[in-house]
Structure 1
Amino acid sequence: MVKVEAWQLTMHAATAQILVVPLLLLLLLLHYQLVVASRRRRRCSSSNDDSKQLPPSPPGGLPIIGHLHLIGDLPHVSLRDLVAAQDDNGGSGLMLLRLGAVPNLIVSSPRAARAILRTHDHVFASRPTSTVGDTILYGSSDVALAPYGEHWRQARKLVTAHLLTVRKVHSYCHARKQEVRMVMAKIREAAVAHTAMYMSETMNTFANDVVCRAVSGKFFREEGRNKLFRELVDTNSILFGGFNLEEYFPGLVNSLGFVTRCFPRNRQAHEAHKRWDELLETVIRDHESRRYSMYHHDQESDFTDVLLSVQQDYGGITRDHIKAILVAPTHHLWSWNSPWPS
């Protein structure tokens, strides 16, 4: 008889549990790939039209993952190398990559870019569905990720006509100068005290405070809101920029939604959405109370004030849409203004 210790049984059970998850996921992906391939074959066989020629794809595509393994840690460098190899073979400026189950069209010449962005712009106007975007941005109802349609046109008109006009940008000149003076004062204090300053952190904080002031006004430092804004923006960057399995295998969301909801990144997205909603609800309520204050004329007008004042002029723009529009510029403008990565 073989003697087996209890701790050995525990280790074997734990190892089995660890291996079950990736094996189950692999089986699910194989099943999904077979279903997609079967549907694609049925569509091709049932079509009476002449098959349209697809752009060339780089060699090395694999089952299930497609060309995902050809994209490294620096995607823009990987795409540049793939395009260069394609051009050496007489490429037309268009290249088809299959990242998982999703076809991606890579455009690399002025002529092809003109055809995509001008001639056929309405075909490519909508972005692919993003589970993270839907969760954080209230069903992707902001300007950047909203699908092409009436809501997108209304939101775009609102933003371009009231938020990002030249006059509105110039109106923040005084606020920007105040923030610059505060930064310079901190630098002078450090110089007098002969202490070192981490300039990347200082400039990132400055960019964050400028954007937060434009979004929520001069009260953005109350209760540490500016720090919370930056923390949530950093979280957004991680969630949007990370590897999201559902974006490469979108069929999993429809057929196996109960599984994808358990992914850590999806849980993090829901937690980030909850924190964003609480913060923006507080900001909006503060602005609503101050709008009726007798001292409101002495306060600087920010993005939140503008959105609340014109909401009734744009049918269908709800409170959640306003929150989504506020999250988007906070994330994108902060990213554009940051001189160095954090």
Structure 2
Amino acid sequence: MAREIETKCLHLEEEEGCCNNYGSISYPIYQTATYAHEGVGRSTGFDYSRLQNPTREHLEKVVASLENGIDALAFSSGMAAISLLMEIFKPGDHLIADADLYGGSIRLFDHVSSKNGISFSRVDCHKVNVEDYIQENTKAIYIETPTNPMMNVTDIQELSKIARKHDLLLIVDNTFLSPYFQNPLDLGADIVVHSGTKYLGGHNDTLAGFLITNREDISEKFRFLIKTTGAGLAPLDSWLLLRGIKTLGVRMDRAQENAIAIAHWLKKQKAVTKVIYPGLPEHPGYEIMKKQARGFGAMLTFQLESKEFALAILENVRMIKFAESLGGVETLITYPTTQTHADVPKEIREKNGITEATLRLSVGIENIKDLIAELEKVFKETEGELYAREKS
């Protein structure tokens, strides 16, 4: 019988009843670079930790199970995972990439992948006919859903039909929802990307990235590349991810509950001109999210009436931290213009809807009463400051 995802966060079925690790409930950290052999041709199954390490292998099996893939590979960061992913393409290849992506992905595509002879078309995949942008040399479609930071939602299943029709890979960055809320492979994707630093780790204490696939041929390519480039995740970081994943379900449920409450609170604020959260019925991707995901996540973006109001909020927050990243237990507020999307040209940011009055909120698991109280205090202080400036 298939396990529920909360249980899969805690248990690998093939490990049950296994005492290989002296009965240890917490999977051990195998902090070793190399492995001794009893003789020629007699291996323990591990040779050198750049190739594989028991702790990393266990983590990869857990993540593959969560995403219903046949293989998962753990990397030293999310960008390390995407960088290796781009190595399966060659000069002359063309990719269709969603227009609204994490700034680091855009930077990689524009300054590294393009240098290596790979071309890109930026497309609003949630609202155009992607088929119109396919060229003879197109090899893949790369999306986030929801996107970072504008929370655009793309129908994965419909896009997968286009990809299959034209023999293209469909690559989905699933960082914002995590495997707890969404499983792109089940919807027709070929490759799933995660920044494990975010919800999978969940505690803002380590970096990690993942590539997951349900295709043997892609798995073989990734396995060759990870041992060749040496981008695999270290044992201690692998253990931290295993520990974080154990609470993925309860963290995601609580964070989402808080995010919905904050989204409704923000909608009532005079200084807020727009709240972008896919769990609001007025969001254009609301119905698609209900169809392809089990939840709406805990990321939301909102627009303020002015740049000055946005900057003052960042100065006034205390319990909520003004910081990059997302997906941890603490609530973080981010200014995309100078942080996550600082290297994205201004005209592209503005075309995607990112202005100097845009803020992104990664909602954590604090008590919602404390979060709302902090926001009320911050908004009141900000309104007072701006009013005093006008009068002076």
Which category of TM-score, normalised to the shorter sequence, fits these structures? under 0.3
More helix by share: 1
The answer to which structure has the higher strand fraction is 2
Which has the higher Rg, Structure 1 or Structure 2?
Answer: 1
